[in-house]
Each structure stands twice: as C-alpha cells, then as structure tokens.
Structure 1
C-alpha cells in the first residue's frame, strides 16, 4: 500500500450467507486493557515478565501460551478456566464493545439468523464478558477447551459449522468475522469459510497481508439487510477497504 493512506471507501456491497461465526476479543469486544492487567498479575505470580507473555498471547489460547512459556504444570483446564474466570470479574470496567457489535448482534438475534462465537477463550471468560457488557448470548459457542488444537488450526471453525447444522460443503456460504491476521484469518480460510477482517487490533498493512475477503474498520460497516426464510442472511458491507 506504500505511503498512501488507507481508503475505506469501497461502494456498498451485498452478500448472502447461511450463517455467521464471530471471533470474540477484537471482534465483538475490546478487552485489551483488561488483558494487559490480567497478564501482568499472572506474570508476577508465575515469575515471567508480563511483556514476554503479551508478545505472543493475543488471539492464542492461554493453555498454549503457558505451554510455549514452559509452564506445563499450569497448562491444564482447571487452572486456565479459573484464571480466565477472574479476568472479567477483576477488570470488567476495562473492556468495551467493538463499535457496531451490539447493533449487529441484536439484529442477527432478532432475525433468528444462525450464528456462533468461536473463540480462543474458555467458557467462563466468554460468559463473564457477555454478562459484564450485557451483550447478546449465542445459542452456539465454541471455546478453547472444546478443541485439541487452537487457532490457526481450523478445527474450531469446523466445529462452529457443525453447531450451526452445516457441513464442510456449506463453508463457502458461511462468514467468519475476525480481527487477527496471525492465525485467525488462516483458521477461517482453512475451514473453507469467507473471512471478514476488522482493523481493530492490528495495522491495516498486517490485515491486508493476510488477505481476508473483506476489510472494514469495525462492525459499524456491517448491516443486516434481509433475513431469508431458510435462515440465511443478506449483509451489506459498507466502507470496506479499497485494495489495489
């Protein structure tokens, strides 16, 4: 993209999908400040520089982060779920919703459109954040402890497809909404889904390099324009990035 300023000015586009799979942090909520405080606390407890943890923890399951740091004795679901349960309890005031998230989720839920959250967080973490921020709760959820391998492995999104009642053959008609180029976009694409990338946690250049199908600043650019009788949805994508 050179030195040119990014242009989020593409004409409105419409696309139809059978269902939607949302990442959580950076896509529905921004808990960056809370996560930084959380890992500083954990880092002090386990004797590891919190900045070292934060360099690799974004978008990654805590269990994988601890394994990578050589903390195998802590890399178990009992400890991870307890640790993550405390995050929204202790730092709930430090998280906010991604602009447009509430309106989009409300519209999806009102229209009975198939959707799920597919996240690297555990069930206590996801439930805690949705409760703190009073955001719509999905009927279907794929969390860290559900899969053997976290993102960028596609198994989480393949499981998400299954929970919505779809097969791999339907993947091309399902939209993944993600914020992290490092692995997450790859995870959605590897599952065969279309991917919409949000520029909420990474630079435009990093998101462009990962080549999602659409790039927008946040969820204010996504509108439900029609809900179909078969459960599908037509979305309008506004102000997407123009990529030469």
Structure 2
C-alpha cells in the first residue's frame, strides 16, 4: 500500500490561532461590531464562511468572501514575516522532505494562507495544499482529505493525518486515514485516534517513518 502524511496547518504545524483571533478582533473594531474571546474560540477548526456569516449578522456590510479575503490576507502576510512554528514541526517537515515521503497540507484556511505555509515550509516537504478554495465542503466533511489522498496516489488506510481540532479529526477519520491527534486546542480527540501527542516534538521522525511503513 502507498503511504503518505497529511498535515493540518493551524494548531498542528504553526501556532497561528492567536494571529487569526487578533486579526478578527482588529477587523471587528474597524467595522464597529462585537467580537469576543468566546467568538474567537468558536472559530477554531470551522469553515471560514461560518465566522464570516456571523460577522455579517453582527453588522458587517461586506460579502462573506470579502470578509474572509481581508482577514485571511492579513494572517498570511504575518505568517510569512515571522513563522510561528510549533515545537518539532519544522524539524519533522525537514526530515520528511529529506526522506522523500509524500506529504500534503490540508487546511480549512484560504488558498492565500495555504500558499504562505508552502512558501515557508522546508523545500520539498509538502507537495501541495488542499485549502478551502479547493473544495465544495470543508472539514468536518472528508472531502479535503479524500482529495489530498487521491492526488498523492495513496491508500487512505496507510496514511497518517495530523490534526488538532474536532472538525479536522472527524474529517480525517471519515476519509479513512489514521489519526494522530495533537492536544494544542483540545485535551482529547472527539473521535478515536491511533495516537495522541502534545506537539510534533513528542515524536521522532524515525518513529513516525516506522509507523508509516
């Protein structure tokens, strides 16, 4: 069976959730709407159109796509300027690239955010990204993972997916992948996970490659 690695982005490879939350708050202040810490927490792992719709309900006079473009663009620029790598993630990606193991990025963020991640990742680590711009249904629907597995030419049951959110975990499992869950956002996965780790620093590349084989 052909195996591959499937990486979520926010909360898995990089600690960008605080950047998203701050840019949402800045946007809300600019448009004079309420956007609380509870609202920010609610957005984690959700399709972007859901929080854009909530902002419109609060009074933002813009189309959802324009709201997303404004906030996601700011986040992408900030990530490129100073990558908030989570412990172990960049080093692991470098080993994946050196070993030539097929890997892809699967995210509910926009294409701009995905491209920013591909730009800063070690060369050859991530072959492509599947973002919200590439699918009709984002996580928790399995479509993003199914598309990535198909494009990699891999067998779903031989793939390991790294996720930190409930919606992402559900999407990976529904697509048939093996789930390794990171507790950067939640204390445990809402669906059965093969392994649970704190960050990617908690595993070695050799350990991962052995599990993949």
When residues 214 and 62 of structure 1 are mapped into structure 2, their CA distance, relative to the original with a 3 A threshold, is same
Which structure has the highest helix share of the two?
A: 2
> Does residue 103 of structure 2 align to residue 115 of structure 1?
yes
> Does residue 195 of structure 2 align to residue 214 of structure 1?
yes
TM normalised by structure 2 equals 0.84
- The gaps in structure 1 that reach 5 residues or longer are 1-15, 228-232, 237-244
Aligned residues: 206
- The gaps in structure 2 that reach 5 residues or longer are none
Give 1:226 shift: 8.2
Q: Which residue of 2 aligns with 1:189?
A: 173
Q: Which residue of 2 aligns with 1:57?
A: 43
Structure 1 counterpart SS, 2:205? strand
When residues 83 and 33 of structure 1 are mapped into structure 2, their CA distance, relative to the original with a 3 A threshold, is closer
The aligned runs of 1:1-244 (5 Å cut-off) are: 18-51=3-36, 53-69=39-55, 70=57, 73-76=62-65, 79-90=67-78, 96-129=84-117, 131=119, 134-136=120-122, 138-166=126-154, 170-180=155-165, 182-202=166-186, 204=187, 207-225=188-206, 233-235=209-211
Name the stretch that deviates more: 64-73 or 54-63. 64-73
Larger of the two Rg values belongs to structure: 1
Give 1:152 shift: 0.5
Question: What are the Cα deviations for residues 193-215 of structure 1, in whole angstroms up to 9, with x where unaligned?
Answer: 1100011122x2xx144322210
Name the stretch that deviates more: 43-52 or 104-113. 43-52
List, as ranges, runs of 4+ consecutive aligned residues in structure 1 with deviation greater than 4 Å.
90-95
Give 1:165 shift: 1.3
Contact 1:34 1:95 in 2 (8 A): no
